C-alpha cells in the first residue's frame, strides 16, 4: 500500500473517531437534559446511552438538587460602585432577605456592567462546553484512568515548571499543586487601604492567613524552590506588619500543634479537613476575645462538643479527580454536628434559600449522600459550597454584633462554626460577588470585618476594574 494512501486512511479514521465522539456527546447531552431530567424517562434506550454509568439516575437527582434555584445575581445592581450609582437611595436589596431578585431600575446601564454581563454569559457557555465534552464523552473516565494507570506504572511524577496546575504526588501519598511566585505589592496596598477604610468607619479589621497544604516548616525541600505559596504569604504579611494592619497567621498556630501538617488536609484535595476548620474557628474566636473585645464561648469550639459522622473512602478531591482512581485512593470525610442545641437562620439568596433550623441546615447533603467520585464534591457539602453572599443569624446568641467574613473556599469549613458564637454573621466570596464591598458595609454596618484567604488566592489587583479576590472597594 502506498504511503500516501496510508496517510489518507489515518486522516479519515481520525476524523471519523472525532465525529463519533462528538455525536456521543450530543446524544448523551440531549438524553440527559430532555429524556431523563425533563421527562424522567428510565428505559432501555436511556440505559443504553449511559451504559457504564451504573449510578446515572441517582447522580442526576443529586446534581439537580445541588443546582436547584442557584442563579447568578447581578450584585453590582444592588450594591453599585460609587461611579456606577444610578439609583441612589435604593432600599436594601430583596436578595438579602432570601427572596427573588428584583428587576433593576430603568435607566442608563454603565458599559462596565454590560461587559460583566456578557463575560458572565460567555463563562457559563464555556464551562458548559467543557463539562459536556468531558462528563458526557462515552468512556471518558475509563480512558483517563487507563492513561493515569500507565503513568503510575512507569513512575511518571513530573510536572513542567510552566504547568502550575499539574498534580504532584508526595512520598506520603498527598497530592499537591505548586504555586508560582507573585508580586504581592498591590495586594498589600489593597488590604491596607481596606483596613484604613474600616478604621474610618470605626469597624474592627483582621486579616487571617490560612495555611496551604505545603508547609514552610516541614516541606523545605520544595518550599521556596518549586512552590512559592508560603513565600507569597510571608511577603503579604510582612507588608501588612509594616503598615500596622492587624493579622493572624494560622500557619504558625498550626505548626505549634502536635499534628503533622499534611494530616490536617485531605490527601486527594487541597482543602483542609472539617476538623481543621473547627480548630481554625477556635483559634480565631480566641483572637477576637483577646484583641477585639468579643466574649465568644470557647467551649462551643471544642471538638469534644461535636458528634462526627464519617463517610469512609467517600471523597476524591480535585487532585484525585485529575489523576483518577488509577493513582489515588479516596479520602474519608466527616460532617460535624454540635452536641448542644442550635437554632440558626440560614440565608443563601442564589438558591433562594431562607431557612431556620439547627446546624444541619448549613450542609448541602446532596453533595455527599451518594458516593460519586467524579461528579459530586463532598467538600461542597460544607456551607453549601459557598456563594457570593451567605448570612446566618444565631437565635442562641444575643450580643448585638455582626461580623462580615470575606474569603475563599477554605472559609466554607470555618464560617458555619464561627456563626455558632456570634449573633449575626455574613460572608462574601469576591469570586462571585461583583458588587461594591464598601457599599455593602455601609448598608449592613458590621462591627468587625475579617478577610480570610489561603496563599493560592493571593493575586495582583487590577485597579482598572472591580474584579478579583483582593479588590475590596
Helices 185-200 and 437-444, packing angle to 10 deg: 20
The pLDDT assigned to 141 comes to 59
| DSSP 3-state of 334 | strand
- CB atoms under 10 Å from CB of 97, counted, come to 11
Question: pLDDT (tens digit, 0 to 9) for every residue of the chain, 473 residues total?
Answer: 667 777 778 778 878 877 876 777 677 767 766 876 667 666 767 655 665 554 333 334 444 444 444 788 999 999 999 865 544 444 444 566 544 444 444 455 556 555 655 655 565 555 555 555 555 555 555 555 555 555 556 565 555 544 445 899 999 999 999 999 999 999 999 999 999 999 999 999 999 999 999 999 999 999 999 999 999 999 999 999 999 999 999 999 999 998 999 999 999 999 999 999 999 999 999 999 999 999 999 999 999 999 999 999 999 999 999 889 988 999 999 999 999 999 999 999 999 999 999 999 999 999 999 999 988 999 999 999 999 999 999 999 999 999 999 999 999 999 999 999 999 999 999 999 999 999 999 999 999 999 999 999 999 998 878 888 999 99
Tell me, yes or no, whether 6 lies in a domain: no
Q: How many domains does the chain fold into?
A: 1
Tell me, yes or no, whether 162 lies in a domain: no
The pLDDT assigned to 191 comes to 98
User: Whole-prediction pTM value?
Assistant: 0.77
Tell me, yes or no, whether 66 lies in a domain: no
| DSSP 3-state of 64 | helix
Show the cell assigned to 209.
492567613
The pLDDT assigned to 18 comes to 73
Tell me, yes or no, whether 49 lies in a domain: no
Which residues are CB-neighbours of 126 under 8 A, at least 6 positions away?
Answer: none
The pLDDT assigned to 353 comes to 95
The pLDDT assigned to 12 comes to 81
Q: In whole angstroms, what is the distance from residue 77 CA to residue 93 CA?
A: 9
The pLDDT assigned to 143 comes to 58
The pLDDT assigned to 63 comes to 42
Show the cell assigned to 196.
484604613
- CB atoms under 10 Å from CB of 155, counted, come to 7
The pLDDT assigned to 21 comes to 67
Which phi-psi region, left, alpha or beta, contains residue 159 (left: φ > 0; alpha: ψ -120 to 50)? beta
Tell me, yes or no, whether 386 lies in a domain: yes
Q: In Å, what is the CA distance from 218 to each residue of 214, 222, 251, 256, 273?
A: 8, 10, 12, 12, 19
Q: In whole angstroms, what is the distance from residue 126 CA to residue 133 CA?
A: 11
Tell me, yes or no, whether 120 lies in a domain: no
The pLDDT assigned to 56 comes to 39
- Beta-carbon-side half-sphere exposure of residue 240 (alpha carbons within 13 Å): 26
- The bridge status of strand 402-407 relative to strand 247-249 is unpaired
Tell me, yes or no, whether 266 lies in a domain: yes
Instruction: Scan for cell 454509568, then name that residue.
Output: 53
Query: Residue 267's domain spans which residues?
Result: 180-457
Tell me, yes or no, whether 5 lies in a domain: no
Amino acid at each position: 500500500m502506498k504511503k500516501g494512501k496510508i496517510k489518507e486512511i489515518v486522516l479519515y479514521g481520525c476524523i471519523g473517531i472525532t465525529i463519533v465522539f462528538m455525536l456521543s456527546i450530543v446524544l448523551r447531552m440531549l438524553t440527559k437534559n430532555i429524556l431523563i431530567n425533563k421527562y424522567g424517562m428510565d428505559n432501555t434506550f436511556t440505559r443504553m446511552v449511559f451504559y457504564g454509568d451504573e449510578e446515572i439516575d441517582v447522580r442526576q437527582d443529586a446534581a439537580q438538587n445541588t443546582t436547584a434555584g442557584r442563579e447568578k445575581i447581578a450584585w453590582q445592581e444592588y450594591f453599585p460602585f460609587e461611579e456606577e450609582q444610578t439609583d441612589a437611595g435604593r432600599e436594601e436589596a430583596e436578595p438579602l432577605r432570601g427572596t427573588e431578585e428584583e428587576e433593576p431600575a430603568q435607566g442608563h446601564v454603565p458599559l462596565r456592567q454590560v461587559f460583566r454581563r456578557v463575560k458572565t454569559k460567555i463563562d457559563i457557555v464555556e464551562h458548559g462546553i467543557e463539562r459536556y465534552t468531558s462528563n458526557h464523552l462515552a468512556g471518558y473516565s475509563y480512558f483517563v484512568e487507563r492513561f493515569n494507570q500507565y503513568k503510575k506504572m512507569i513512575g511518571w511524577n513530573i510536572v513542567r515548571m510552566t504547568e502550575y496546575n499539574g498534580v504532584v504526588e508526595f512520598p506520603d501519598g498527598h497530592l499537591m499543586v505548586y504555586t508560582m511566585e507573585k508580586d504581592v505589592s498591590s495586594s498589600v496596598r489593597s488590604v491596607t487601604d481596606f483596613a484604613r477604610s474600616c478604621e474610618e468607619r470605626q469597624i474592627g479589621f483582621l486579616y487571617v492567613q490560612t495555611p496551604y497544604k505545603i508547609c514552610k516548616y516541614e516541606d523545605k525541600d520544595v518550599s521556596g524552590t518549586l512552590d512559592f505559596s508560603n513565600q507569597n504569604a510571608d511577603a503579604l504579611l510582612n507588608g501588612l506588619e509594616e503598615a500596622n494592619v492587624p493579622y493572624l497567621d494560622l500557619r504558625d498556630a498550626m505548626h505549634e500543634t502536635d499534628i503533622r501538617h499534611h494530616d490536617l488536609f485531605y490527601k486527594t484535595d487541597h482543602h483542609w479537613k472539617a476538623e481543621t476548620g473547627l480548630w481554625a474557628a477556635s483559634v480565631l474566636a480566641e483572637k477576637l476575645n483577646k484583641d477585639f473585645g468579643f466574649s465568644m464561648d470557647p467551649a462551643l469550639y471544642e471538638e469534644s462538643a461535636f458528634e462526627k459522622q464519617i463517610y469512609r473512602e467517600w471523597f476524591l478531591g480535585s487532585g484525585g479527580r485529575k489523576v483518577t482512581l488509577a493513582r489515588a485512593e479516596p479520602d474519608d470525610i466527616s460532617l460535624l454536628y454540635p452536641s448542644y442545641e442550635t437554632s440558626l437562620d440560614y440565608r443563601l439568596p442564589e438558591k433562594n434559600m431562607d431557612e431556620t433550623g439547627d446546624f444541619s441546615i448549613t450542609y448541602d447533603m446532596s453533595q455527599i449522600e451518594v458516593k460519586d467520585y467524579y461528579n459530586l464534591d463532598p467538600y461542597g457539602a460544607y456551607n453549601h459550597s459557598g456563594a457570593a453572599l451567605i448570612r446566618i443569624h444565631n437565635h442562641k446568641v444575643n450580643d448585638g454584633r455582626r461580623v462580615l467574613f470575606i474569603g475563599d473556599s477554605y472559609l466554607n469549613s470555618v464560617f458555619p462554626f464561627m456563626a455558632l458564637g456570634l449573633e449575626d454573621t455574613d460572608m462574601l466570596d469576591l469570586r462571585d460577588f461583583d458588587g461594591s464591598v464598601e457599599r455593602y458595609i455601609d448598608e449592613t454596618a458590621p462591627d468587625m470585618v475579617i478577610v480570610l484567604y489561603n496563599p493560592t488566592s493571593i493575586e495582583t489587583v487590577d485597579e482598572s476594574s472591580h474584579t478579583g479576590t483582593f479588590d475590596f472597594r
